[in-house]
Chains A and B, each alone.
Chain A
Amino acid sequence: MNRVSAYLILVGLAALVGCGGGGGSGSSATSAMHSASSSSSSSSSGGSSSGSSSGSTANVVAVTVNSGPPAAHGGTFNIPYASVTVCIAGTSTCATIANVLVDTGSSGLRLMASALQAAGLNLPSEADPANANNTLAECLPFADGYTWGPLANVDVMMAGETAHGISINIIDDRHTFTAAPSGCASSGMNMSLNSVSAFDANGVLGVGTFDQDCGPSCAICASFSGGCTTRYDIYYSCANTGNQCNLAQVAVNSQVRNPVTQFAVDNNGVILQLPSVPTAGQTTASGTLTFGIGTQTDNALGSAKVLTADSAGNIITLYKSQTLSDSFFDSGSNGLYFPDSSIPACTNSQSNPSASDFYCPTTLQQLQATNQGQDGTQSVVSFEVSNLNSISNSFYAVPSIGGPAATNTMLGSYFDWGVPFFYGRSVYTAIEGKSAAGTMGPYYAY
């Protein structure tokens, strides 16, 4: 569903941006923002709502599902946004960027250069530790294209939490950086996603199951003839003079980090909570992103069922006699994507050429699946899929949107539990190698 033509009256969305923020315009800068923990933190940084008991670190930020930043031109449904404050590492030169997509399906922070510019923050690019005359850059592949841009070393602040001196990725939507090398553009899909409108967001806050966005695969290139120069990869080292970029090995600790893992406390995972929403949807929805699992009184596991994940962050979903072994929970997916040939897909049209990405059942489908952790723990989930064409264009929070996923008997199939699953739930995402409430991540719980 293309929301380009949807114009919403924005209601009640004021004051999402804290710390001297600029309200609905999306971004704000300040040169005097210090760690929120130094004050009583009744108004802490990064669009937070204070959500912890006194004496502990504020660990909750507001999350809103709505039409997103103005440059998204109406946006699309089921995208959860939060504000993130970034500072030039070790300084008090900071900006708060609103409308950043909260993504439990990736790891690492990516911000649009245009949003940083609008906020008045000029982040210096990060030098390649192996070559001071070069800048580190990243090409990140998505199903429908790639993002490209330099790395920057920053402090990331949300609520009372700070990740000091971590690498983030600046998505070069201003096209001021070296152009994407051919290896980036020709592998996967040659489609630049370097724009606010491509993501309907000013950036992506990856708070998924991994500590780094790429991990060991990008830290090695032994046994390749000619070093790393002939292999498709994610990280590049770009000469500061000229336009030459070559593939680069980057040690895991220097890669784009999940900011949560670098917080001093509350660093073992997150809880994304969204409110219950009627089947047909509603205009917006407001929830929270809480840092830490079992580290404070406000992030206990409680009665949530833990589903342990494999090293790729996958669980198993049993659905209508299918064993979908590569399944996952992903707030970066705006629907429930799963294979079911009995539900008709929508029909493509000139006004909606990608309608077939979604299901259009003639009647509301009330369905059930069983999620299973790698340790065998099971959880039965009920969910609904309505006809996409029956959804009001003014509704941005819609819990009944589904779409077909490919089955792949050769390599594994999946159920992508996107944002609709999060409505009415607190979904825990525990990070690899971190113990969270007594269980080692990666796992999900709800």
Chain B
Amino acid sequence: MIPKSRPTIALGVSSLLLALLWQVPAQAHLGGDPSSVESDRQALHAQLRTVATQQYSVHEIDSDSGGEVREYATPQGTVFAVTWRGALPPDLQQLFGTYYQPYQAAATAHPRPGMHRQLQVSVGDLVVQVSARPRSYGGKAYVQSLMPAGLSIADLR
């Protein structure tokens, strides 16, 4: 297996911060602010770990069913990318926030004969790549215009 690039420093979210975030209503996620990470965590019934680097922070959400979601946020807290992997797919409508509808519209615009295992969609500056086999679901989505300057999607770990 290739390294899964797990963060070496795992910091728990402080209970104070958690208490504050809990008050914030669910809102947009991809493109959302830090509170959207917490609402995703609640929706996914999951544990949250956060790791910060100079260019971005990673919020890693592990659900009880073995699924893993990572949300990548700018230093200002805007979520610019999400990735997921697990035996079940996560709720993409929850993770994509306001980006779900344009994704949905672009992805369903025309039939793709025979393509049930993977899907690659670009719409505006949103890029979505999905792979799906029963018991093996994964993918990533990112908004190019929200990415920190000088950062490439390939740089994310």
Contact = CB atoms under 8 A, between A and B. Distances in A.
B135 A312 contact: yes
Interface stretch (A53-61, A158-166, A282-290, A329-337): A329-337
Given A323-B2, A326-B138, A410 B115 contact: no
Contact of B134 (A3, A75, A187, A214): A214
A230 interface: yes
A220 interface: yes
A406 B120 CA distance: 8
Q: Identify which of B68, B108, B135, B157 gathers the most chain A CB atoms within 10 Å of its CB.
A: B135
B118 interface: yes
Interface in B100-157: 104, 107-120, 129-140, 154, 156-157
A412 B112 CA distance: 24
A409 interface: yes
B93 interface: yes
Interface stretch (A15-23, A128-136, A141-149): A141-149
Contact of B135 (A188, A215, A225, A354): A215
B90 interface: yes
A333 B91 contact: no
Contacts of B118: 143, 337, 405-406, 416
Interface in B61-94: 64-66, 68, 70, 83-85, 87-93
A412 B117 CA distance: 15
B83 A411 contact: yes
Given A337-B118, A410-B157, A141 B5 contact: no
Contacts of A357: 112, 115, 120
Contact of A408 (B1, B83, B114): B83
A276 B156 CA distance: 42
A3 B112 CA distance: 11
Contact of A143 (B1, B87, B108, B117): B117
Give the bracket for the number of chain A residues in contact with chain B.
35 or more
Contact of A141 (B84, B137, B157): B137
A355 to B, nearest CB: 10
Contacts of A141: 89, 132, 137
Contacts of B132: 141-143, 188
Interface in A334-392: 334-335, 337, 353-354, 356-357
A233 interface: yes
Interface string A189-203: 111010001111000
Contacts of B116: 142-145, 193, 199, 332
Given A186-B91, A191-B107, A326 B134 contact: no
Given A106-B133, A200-B114, A411 B4 contact: yes
A330 B120 contact: no
A141 B136 CA distance: 11
Contacts of B138: 326, 408, 411-412
Given A1-B113, A406-B120, A412 B87 contact: no
A115 B2 CA distance: 44
Nearest to B72: A410
A175 interface: no
Contacts of B43: 230
B117 A332 contact: yes
Contacts of B111: 2, 197-198, 354
Contact of A210 (B70, B109, B135): B135
B87 A142 contact: no
A312 B89 contact: no
Contact of B156 (A1, A199, A200, A410): A410
Main secondary structure of the interface of A (DSSP, over half): loop
Contacts, number: 182
Interface string A313-329: 11010000001011010
Interface residues of B, number: 51
Contacts of B117: 105, 142-143, 330, 332-333, 337, 416
A215 B66 CA distance: 12
Given A142-B132, A215-B87, A223-B64, A334 B157 contact: no
A234 B88 contact: yes
A405 B131 contact: yes
Nearest to B67: A217
Contact of B88 (A76, A217, A316, A405): A217
A77 B113 CA distance: 9
Q: Identify which of B70, B85, B117 gathers the most chain A CB atoms within 10 Å of its CB.
A: B117
Interface of A: 1-3, 75-79, 105-108, 140-145, 186-191, 193, 197-200, 206, 208, 210, 213-215, 217-218, 220, 222-225, 230-234, 310, 312-314, 316, 323, 325-326, 328, 330, 332-335, 337, 353-354, 356-357, 404-414, 416
Interface of B: 1-2, 4-5, 43, 45, 64-66, 68, 70, 83-85, 87-93, 104, 107-120, 129-140, 154, 156-157
8 closest A-B pairs by beta carbon, nearest first, are A406-B129, A76-B113, A334-B114, A143-B132, A143-B119, A142-B116, A353-B110, A411-B85
28 contacts: A3-B113, A105-B133, A143-B117, A186-B91, A187-B89, A187-B91, A189-B92, A189-B108, A189-B119, A190-B104, A191-B107, A198-B111, A214-B87, A215-B135, A220-B65, A223-B64, A232-B88, A232-B89, A232-B90, A314-B136, A330-B133, A332-B116, A333-B117, A337-B118, A405-B118, A405-B131, A406-B129, A410-B156
Given A224-B64, A313-B135, A354-B115, 4 more contacts: A143-B131, A222-B64, A313-B136, A409-B5
